[in-house]
A and B are shown apart, each in its own frame.
Chain A
């Protein structure tokens, strides 16, 4: 435990070594929120308007909720694993007395803490500038369910990143290509970062809800809004938990097979 605490500290400090990079990355996050915010603010310019199951307060809370949930879930370092595998750098870790998964999970947590701090500051600043109506959730049970859904989301994203990073065991040259396709394009669209899944037709919603992606952003934010409760909430949490189990088993199989073909090119 102590060594992972040290990894956390080092990783946290490492983020400050590239301050300009980090600040520019956060500026980008804020700009991405603008488009989403203003689209929905225009659609719901009439405060009494009810469409897609949201009113102005709920949809703008959804947009602001994305900022915090994204910082918690999508801030991660584990995408660098593909580089370790492709470059042979993985060998350095295999010979050390650390669990490689725990090592990267600790680094992810460190990244999330730092991004959460910045996202909170940005949240407050944007809140003061844009003055949106906001739903402050006061129901303790809902907040607890929200936190549980966030934990599942964090683990699901970690497992997805590791699975993608395993591809270079077999095809080293598509490390970044696969991350672009899945984490930049598919996760952005299907996680609910750009739009809530329930604006789509029922059939399409059902297909997307059967994948792990909406459990990263859409599901936690919907839980916070109180739009999912009772058996639907329980069912959703069970689906998220099942994805954690399925992805974990799949990752273990893929990783073990990957290690067998790993040749440490350049390492």
Chain B
């Protein structure tokens, strides 16, 4: 697996590219400085560090939800503020961001819909946007199948029609993961997505995500406050300390993955 990674790094273009990026508050106060960071296809990168140093803000910057103070942020071949192509970026926030009053299937279908390719092409940008939006309201059978597969992978098939608010914290986390897997993104950003999970559930979630990343040559950037857990799953560990990112490559002690 390590070998594959090295090959991917050589031939693939980076999915995330940050050059001289400063991240911080609107008043100009800097939290994190990143001179240079590249994340390649098939790579799992973990960001660790004490709370409040700006791990989540870094993730949100890459997701395009906040602007960096300076520097260039390039995600999936597009420079922020231009968003990556539809469905290329999957984001699992710490608070999950599920639609609480809707069913598990509805939530996962949101991801699968985002992963669907837009089909109508028109010379007028607005007509194209509108017609594709209307089209996306009617999900294809392919999207439905993808959602069912993702739900099955996360072992939630018996909860498929349940509203999210009736699920436990761990089950909700699995729904958020299933949503991202159904989306089939090129880059997954996950914010503490393994916290408050029991060991068995954690393995289900982690195996699902890692298998997806390795099989589809996607990249995973995960924020993790627990350094030992971060080491255990990542190819590379970035530690944010004193507002600077110190990249160093750890020995790869990957989780045993059955493919």
Answer yes or no: are A and B bound together in one complex. Answer: no
